[in-house]
Amino acid sequence: MFLIPKSRFKKFDPERSCFVLNEFAAAEFSSAVEMLFAAKTVNDKKLSNGFIRHALDEYRHCFIFTSIKNQIILEYKINNKQLSFVPNHVYNKGYIYKDHFIFEKKKLNNFAIFVGANEEVAEKKLIDFSNHLKKHKPLAFKKIQDILKDEENHAKYSLKFAKNNNTFFLYKIKLAKEKILSFLRHIYANSLNKFSFIFNPILVTIIIILSFVAHFLKLKKNITDEDVMKNIEPNSIT
């Protein structure tokens, strides 16, 4: 899991919970895709099999998160198209890069640290979210506990591989770097909604003002000349 939004709530909000579940599902789906690419690319059968098992876990987690979300949607009769899980959205939300896979840009040792660090960060966020669901959705809480066991194992064997293939000092530096980068990515993800809340009204206001101004522009139409630029009244250009 790579990019997970802030998931703490003061009280249970079904629609907000569905949004977070949808983001968890997208992160798991993206992680599975990255693992499949790694499995296809790496020149080691044992590692390839490990990446495939990891990918299958992530696909299963995606299905579980989506199932929990759909159950909440049905129970609380939520009607919000944005809660639909659309695989293509993983590009728009930055879970997967359009021009490359992470495994292409990182050496195997560094990729292992990247995976382990991000699994640990995501695990902590998932623990917070599951504790929020515990009282209101005990069955969902139980399912997420099974996911947490997988995430813990993913982080454990990824970091174990990294430790065995890096010096102790270098391992600590790389791990700290990945955790800092992961922290910054989460801050960015959490800021998107806040920025949209601030800038969307401003953008709408600007559009309304421009539409009002455009209404009074004097556009001189003269279609006798094929040169479009010559047909525009200079005074009408803003």
The model's pLDDT over 197-223, given as tens digits with 9 standing for 90+, comes to: 566 678 778 888 877 776 666 555 555
Report the mean per-residue pLDDT for the chain: 85
Q: What is the mean pLDDT of residues 55-80?
A: 95
Q: What is the mean pLDDT of residues 105-134?
A: 93
Owner of token pair 């006798």: 224
Res. 56 pLDDT band, cuts 50 70 90? very high
- Type of residue found at 232: I
Domain map (residue ranges) of the chain: 14-201
Q: What pLDDT, on a 0 to 100 scale, did the predictor assign at position 238?
A: 47
As separate numbers, helices (DSSP H) first and strands (DSSP E) second, the chain gives: 7, 0
Owner of token pair 């021009």: 99
Which H/E stretch holds residue 135?
none
Q: For the chain, what percent of residues have pLDDT higher than 90?
A: 60
- Which pTM was predicted? 0.76
What are the backbone dihedrals phi and psi of residue 39, each rounded to the nearest 5 degrees, phi first? -65, -40
Q: What pLDDT, on a 0 to 100 scale, did the predictor assign at position 12?
A: 86
Q: What pLDDT, on a 0 to 100 scale, did the predictor assign at position 204?
A: 76
Q: Which CATH number fits domain 14-201: 2.60.40, 1.20.1260, 4.10.240, 3.30.70?
A: 1.20.1260
| Six-digit token string for 156 | 């454990």
Q: What pLDDT, on a 0 to 100 scale, did the predictor assign at position 230?
A: 59
Q: What is the mean pLDDT of residues 48-65?
A: 97
Q: What pLDDT, on a 0 to 100 scale, did the predictor assign at position 44?
A: 96
- Specify whether the CB–CB gap between 68 and 88 falls below 8 A: no
Q: What is the mean pLDDT of residues 186-197?
A: 61
Closest CA to 23 of 199, 227, 189, 226: 189
- Specify whether the CB–CB gap between 186 and 121 falls below 8 A: yes
Q: What is the mean pLDDT of residues 115-142?
A: 93
Closest CA to 35 of 12, 16, 55, 7: 55
